[in-house]
Structure 1
Amino acid sequence: MSQAVLITREPVVNKQRSITANRLVVHAPSVPVAVAALNALAENWPANHTVFVSLGRLVPTAELMGWQMPANTMVEIPAPALAYEQTKALIPQLQEAGINLCLSWYQPGMQLPEGAEFRFVLADANKLPTPAGFPGISIATGLADLDGFATAVKNGYDGASGWFFFKGVKAAKELAPSHAQIVRLLNLVRNEAEVKEIEAALKLDVALSYKLLRYINSPAFGLMVEVQSFRHAVTILGMDKLNKWLSLLLVSASKDPLAPALMQAAIARGRFMELIGAAFVEKREVDNLFITGAFSLIHVLLGTTPEAVLGEMTLPEPIIDALLRGEGIYRPFLDLAIACERLDPSALSEQIAKLKLRAEDVSKALVSAVAFADSLQFG
């Protein structure tokens, strides 16, 4: 069996539709191999939210204690694994180490080990419509769309895990005026307009100026000095780099309650593409990879169609090829990013093979991208 470890991920949101955790599913041939892969990710680990860690279909055993678990880790215990003595022996070790537990694949009436405490319980809301009697905070899985989420919450679920919020958004035919203003701003930058002209456009919306400076001065950007104005930003960053950060303004423009979850997903995609694709494109194109990933969900964020929003923007042809035509040099990296969001390791393995990448490099880029997206404040 291959020793490659693949990691896929999905967000966990609460009833208010805010991200409360990131869920990583580790697909490995054995627990020791999974442990080695997880230990290798220590420097890149997302720290802003709790991280649920699932070993997929592996039976969790005491070998998992070889992982130097970050403080924000929560280990998933699949309900069927409770039939194994090795898993029963692991639970008190995790609890003694201060690691919270999450029970997945839960079924009502099942016998739980004495002394086992589960902070969260994941269950398929299609099979268990109501979470009555769950031994922990209930998290719905298996939701198809936003309507499914609304129903699950109405029936008593405390939150949900998955990408259901990508579906069920009603699309408008054209951009809202506030979104159109940001598109105009981006076009000015892309077309290398005079700084004073761009500054004038920014001054029409003070909130945009504030957001832009907050993003640029965030720890994720890593600047040694504080940027205090747009003109200062141009001096330090240059127009090409600034274009990437102005793109964040558009990604973060939605006022929908689910916007923060969508923003995290979009920016994580962009950062992942930037990290994994940097070795394949010229240096000046790396920011275009970020924009491709971030804009791959822009239509969902703004409640419109891809054609409506992208058709108004001055974007490089490779970005348009990837997002509207499903082709071109950036598309394989977007396909890889999307594969990381599915629970199917075979689909991810196929995309990794197409690009001739190493699985460990993809995992590192994935957790780094999630950490980066989480480090930005949306609001």
Structure 2
Amino acid sequence: MPQTTILTREPVVNKNRAITANRLVAHGPNMGSVVETLNELAEVWPTQHTVFVCLGRLVPTPDLMKWQAPPNAMVEIPSQTLAHPQTQALLPQLRDAGISMCLSWFAPGTPLPADCDWRFVLMDRRRHQTPAGSPGITLAWGLPNVSGFQEAVQSGYDGASGWFFLHGNPPPKELAPGHAQIVRLLNLVRNNADIKEIEAALRQDVALSYKLLRYINSAGFGLSCEIQSFRHAVSILGYANLHKWLSLLLVGASRDPSAPAMMQTAIVRGRFMEQIGASFFEKSEHDNLFITGAFSLLNLLLGTSMQRVLDEMHLPAAVTDALLYEQGAYAPFLKLARLCESFDSTELEKQAAELQLEPAQINRALIGALGFADSLQA
């Protein structure tokens, strides 16, 4: 039976805006469909962080126990369902199975079961200015921007869930010298410059060389041998793959407090586009799909305008058209990647239907991309 549940995601961060968990929202018609979907994703399940599983608008019931929950999974229990007989029957089963629980949409004064350990508590900051009465580590949800996050932390929240860090950032400025150096390297590699010329550019920044080799040797790439030098990297990877990894280096160059969360988001978009677009484009274009997604937050990561940073690079028209104008062959796939970050799946389902993609394809690409991104930041 075809899967009908579709997943969206958002990051969970601590007071320092470092990622502490990933939150998946399952948009399904019933618990059976959600369980089937989650079980199908066991092979690509991300393991680097705790994974919150929100059941959307469904009431948690004992049918959820048919899911073979990974050790890092945490089930969200909406406070509004605590009095429901089916949820009351589920709670002791989750506890006995050793599956952690997060209390979501908690409001002070809500009667709580005496025998449940709520490790995390999710509260809507738009309704509750302070986390008074929380029975666990309190996360703010519904924050509008970076300033809203800072205010929530000052009022006592321990962290947040959501996309606030994509809004309210400082105005654009000139490209920083360190970022410009990576852009120069990208252009050299893309133009197949002599290895000696590229090595000379790398030697000007030892830290840059170290980070590049660290990325290439990360678990996400899955190489069978360790790359010891730039020349070795070229011989093993080739210029095209090296360009991809320099692109990752540019995405990871920001020192903004929100950079880890933004970098994860950018890499998830890139890997998702690469995977979901594989059957639509020739293999030679797959790296360009990745770069389109990975560069989609470059303006925020580098603190400059998208136009300014792309003016410094020599990227294919399909990449720049998608990033600057939301047009061209790659644009529908970038839109799809962004819609996977929505708490409402309606537009995601419409876009998937337009591309004739099944929920199972999108779910697998999304979860696989999340695991890939986390492996690079380990």
TM category, shorter: over 0.9
Which residue number in structure 2 is paired with residue 314 of structure 1?
Answer: 314
Letter of the structure 1 residue corresponding to residue 122 of structure 2: L
Identity across matched positions, percent: 63
Q: Judge conservation of contact 2:109–2:133 (CA < 8 Å) in 1.
A: no
What displacement does 1:173 show?
Answer: 2.7
Which residue number in structure 2 is paired with residue 99 of structure 1?
Answer: 99
1:252 has 2:252 as partner: yes
Q: Distance in 1 between matches of 2:81 and 2:111?
A: 12
Q: Distance in 2 between matches of 1:161 and 1:221?
A: 28
1:324 partner SS: helix
Which residue number in structure 2 is paired with residue 63 of structure 1?
Answer: 63
Q: Distance in 2 between matches of 1:338 and 1:8?
A: 10
Q: How does 1:19-168 map to 2 (within 5 A)?
A: 19-168=19-168
What displacement does 1:323 show?
Answer: 0.2
Which residue number in structure 2 is paired with residue 17 of structure 1?
Answer: 17
What displacement does 1:172 show?
Answer: 2.8
Q: Distance in 2 between matches of 1:3 and 1:253?
A: 39
What whole-Å deviation, never above 9, does each CA across 1:294-345 have from its counterpart, x for those lacking one?
0000111111111111111111111001001110000111000000000111
What whole-Å deviation, never above 9, does each CA across 1:207-265 have from its counterpart, x for those lacking one?
11111111111121111111111111111111011110010110000011211111111
Q: Judge conservation of contact 1:173–1:308 (CA < 8 Å) in 2.
A: no
Q: Judge conservation of contact 2:59–2:81 (CA < 8 Å) in 1.
A: yes
1:7 partner SS: strand
Letter of the structure 1 residue corresponding to residue 133 of structure 2: G
- TM-score, L = length of structure 2: 0.98
Which residue number in structure 1 is paired with residue 336 of structure 2?
Answer: 336
Which residue number in structure 2 is paired with residue 262 of structure 1?
Answer: 262
Which residue number in structure 2 is paired with residue 292 of structure 1?
Answer: 292
2:118 partner SS: coil
Q: Distance in 1 between matches of 2:166 and 2:298?
A: 11
Letter of the structure 1 residue corresponding to residue 98 of structure 2: G
What displacement does 1:191 show?
Answer: 1.2
Aligned length in residues:
377
Q: Distance in 1 between matches of 2:328 and 2:320?
A: 9
Q: Judge conservation of contact 1:3–1:29 (CA < 8 Å) in 2.
A: no
Q: Judge conservation of contact 1:170–1:304 (CA < 8 Å) in 2.
A: no
2:95 partner SS: helix
What whole-Å deviation, never above 9, does each CA across 1:71-105 have from its counterpart, x for those lacking one?
00000001111121110111111111111110111
Structure 1 segments, 4+ long, off by >4 Å, are none
1:349 has 2:343 as partner: no
Letter of the structure 2 residue corresponding to residue 351 of structure 1: Q
Q: Distance in 1 between matches of 2:11 and 2:227?
A: 32
Q: Distance in 2 between matches of 1:200 and 1:334?
A: 35
Q: Distance in 2 between matches of 1:359 and 1:258?
A: 30
2:156 partner SS: coil
Which segments of 5 or more consecutive residues in structure 2 lack a partner in the other structure?
Answer: none
Q: Judge conservation of contact 2:121–2:137 (CA < 8 Å) in 1.
A: yes
Q: Distance in 1 between matches of 2:343 and 2:125?
A: 17
Q: Distance in 2 between matches of 1:3 and 1:313?
A: 41
What whole-Å deviation, never above 9, does each CA across 1:149-172 have from its counterpart, x for those lacking one?
000000000000001000111133
What displacement does 1:11 show?
Answer: 0.1
Q: Distance in 2 between matches of 1:363 and 1:377?
A: 22
Q: Distance in 2 between matches of 1:3 and 1:41?
A: 12
Q: Distance in 2 between matches of 1:129 and 1:377?
A: 32
2:274 partner SS: helix
2:110 partner SS: coil
Letter of the structure 2 residue corresponding to residue 304 of structure 1: T
Q: Judge conservation of contact 1:340–1:348 (CA < 8 Å) in 2.
A: yes
Q: Distance in 1 between matches of 2:135 and 2:144?
A: 25
Q: Distance in 2 between matches of 1:141 and 1:341?
A: 14
Q: Distance in 2 between matches of 1:162 and 1:203?
A: 39
Q: Distance in 2 between matches of 1:291 and 1:144?
A: 28
Q: Judge conservation of contact 2:3–2:37 (CA < 8 Å) in 1.
A: no
Letter of the structure 2 residue corresponding to residue 175 of structure 1: L
Letter of the structure 2 residue corresponding to residue 375 of structure 1: S
Q: Judge conservation of contact 1:3–1:28 (CA < 8 Å) in 2.
A: no
Which residue number in structure 1 is paired with residue 371 of structure 2?
Answer: 371
Which segments of 5 or more consecutive residues in structure 1 lack a partner in the other structure?
Answer: none
What displacement does 1:3 show?
Answer: 5.8
Q: Distance in 2 between matches of 1:214 and 1:254?
A: 17
What displacement does 1:16 show?
Answer: 1.0
Q: Judge conservation of contact 2:3–2:359 (CA < 8 Å) in 1.
A: no
2:346 partner SS: helix
